[in-house]
Amino acid sequence: MSNQQAAVIVVGAGPTGLLLAGDLAEAGVEVVLLEKRAAELSNLSRAFAVHARTLETFDARGLADQVLAQGGARMGSVSLFGRATLHLSELESRFPYLLVAPQYHVEAVLRERAIEAGAEIRYDTEVTGVVQDGASVTVTTSQGEVTGAYLVGTDGVHSAVRQAIGMPYPGEAVLRSLILADVKLDEPPEHNPAIQGAHGAFGFVADFDDGYWRVVAWNHDNQQPDDAPVDLDELSEVTRRCFGTDFGMHSPRWISRFHSDERQVPNYRDGRVFLAGDAAHCHSPAGGQGMNTGLQDAANLSWKLAAVLRGAPDKLLDTYQDERHPVGEAVLKFSGALVRFASTRSRVVEVLGEAGAALGMRVKPIAHRAIGMISGIGIHYGHDKTVGRRAADIGLKDGSRLYEALRGGRFVILDSSVEDDRAVAAASAEPDGLARVVRPDGYIGWAGEDAPEAVAAYLDAHAGR
């Protein structure tokens, strides 16, 4: 391969890289996605929870129906350790539930969309080095060099990009010897998902709705290295310890032992290089946040890169760190708290923890915050009451919806009297007198009354020309 130019090089075709590359290609950016694996999609169902905000993000790209059409149980509530219930059905969203869908279903939809939009995906291409200067960034790969204006490392928890730029990844292991499997159950649990902590162990069981159930189990008394053999008997024993039954499990299609770290890079940007997804943060699987957080990183970064390539000021790219680093930090804390709560061994702490959670979840504002965090719906950028908040998918005067207007990576001006060719102007079906600009990632970028001049200034700084 000769030295090739691309505006943006993305390394790693996991969910984060696929969404990012698809968004960039759809925005007309020349993008090349480098992936060390061969072209076949992995059937390892790693993440399985697709949260409401992620489905909204897919909806704003016309992809939600495709993801939902692949099947998967929709859970309107999640019971935590039999003591606290999060009622996701109360979410003000088109998707008031958690979708249980294997990660490869999501990846298949994102890959097809990225290819259709014009992203070039190069498989069997492993990145081994990165060099940047003021004008460009060059990666060394197993197939030669590639040069671009920007590089995004979405190459997972062992990120070669992160190592090549010398970015630290501080943190620690939180859980060892987690067993994860997809099995058939003859006697499924009453609650779906079922989550239980007991006798120094915890278990999680959720329906994939395709005949298989995802089981995650951990036993404080049997801590093994990742490469220690694992079988159905061990999984069944830990499941019985938590739930008093193994639900008649059999026929695993996949079973694995792994450990879970809690880590985050201090900077998501280093010059022309960005890190997103597991390359930038990792945490326990509790709360099913991993894939969802990576996808939101991609949605936040893609429109900013496209805008700067169209002439918006470079400092727009710094807002990726400003906005996404605190979210990554909050996700680490939240999933860490869940896991510590579930895995704590001391009976005293266990009882106090459960009582606290039970109490907490009954207090509306706390339950509301937990639901907002877990679903991603409550995540916002900054502290303003309007700007930086998620824009709800309101109805528009022409009968369509805001998230339909956002498709194609567009800004939407919620004030039909303001015209600007860099955005779609639309009128809300229920106007409240305040004009708004909604960013392509579905967050409010600007709100105010002095619309024409302020909107033009906002778009100069955030959309480019």
Ligand X SMILES: Cc1cc2nc3c(=O)[nH]c(=O)nc-3n(C[C@H](O)[C@H](O)[C@H](O)COP(=O)(O)OP(=O)(O)OC[C@H]3O[C@@H](n4cnc5c(N)ncnc54)[C@H](O)[C@@H]3O)c2cc1C
- Residue closer to ligand X, measured from CB, 111 or 439: 111
Nearest to 20 by CA among 124, 136, 163, 151: 151
Report the nearest approach of ligand X to the CB of residue 1 (Å). Answer: 14
Nearest to 12 by CA among 110, 102, 135, 93: 110
Report the nearest approach of ligand X to the CB of residue 151 (Å). Answer: 12
- Residue closer to ligand X, measured from CB, 274 or 458: 274
- Residue closer to ligand X, measured from CB, 47 or 167: 47
Report the nearest approach of ligand X to the CB of residue 69 (Å). Answer: 21
DSSP state of 41: P
DSSP assignment of 347-392? HHHHHHHHHHHHHHHHSHHHHHHHHHHHHSTT--SSS-SSTTSBPP
Amino acid at 421: D
How many of the other CB atoms lie within 10 Å of CB of 433?
Answer: 6
- Two tokens at 56? 């909204």
Report the nearest approach of ligand X to the CB of residue 291 (Å). Answer: 4
- Residue closer to ligand X, measured from CB, 46 or 53: 46
C-alpha to C-alpha distance for 64 and 232, rounded to whole angstroms: 35
Report the nearest approach of ligand X to the CB of residue 430 (Å). Answer: 35
Residue linked to tokens 């219930």: 85
- Residue closer to ligand X, measured from CB, 155 or 323: 155
- Residue closer to ligand X, measured from CB, 136 or 163: 163
Element (H, E) at 198: strand 194-198
Q: Which residues bind ligand X (CB under 6 A)?
A: 11-17, 34-37, 46-49, 103, 126-127, 154-156, 160, 180, 256, 258, 277-278, 285, 288-291, 294
Report the nearest approach of ligand X to the CB of residue 244 (Å). Answer: 24
Report the nearest approach of ligand X to the CB of residue 271 (Å). Answer: 19
Torsion of Cα atoms, 340 then 291 then 98 then 72, to 10°:
-120
Q: Which residues of 436-457 are buried (b: 16+ CB within 10 A; e: fewer)?
A: bbbbbbbbbbbbeeebeebbee
What distance, in Å, lies between the first and last C-alpha atoms of the chain? Answer: 33
* Rg over CA atoms, the chain: 22
- Residue closer to ligand X, measured from CB, 331 or 459: 331
Contact 216, 204 (CB under 8 A): yes
Report the nearest approach of ligand X to the CB of residue 14 (Å). Answer: 2
- Residue closer to ligand X, measured from CB, 37 or 184: 37
Residue linked to tokens 């907002």: 372
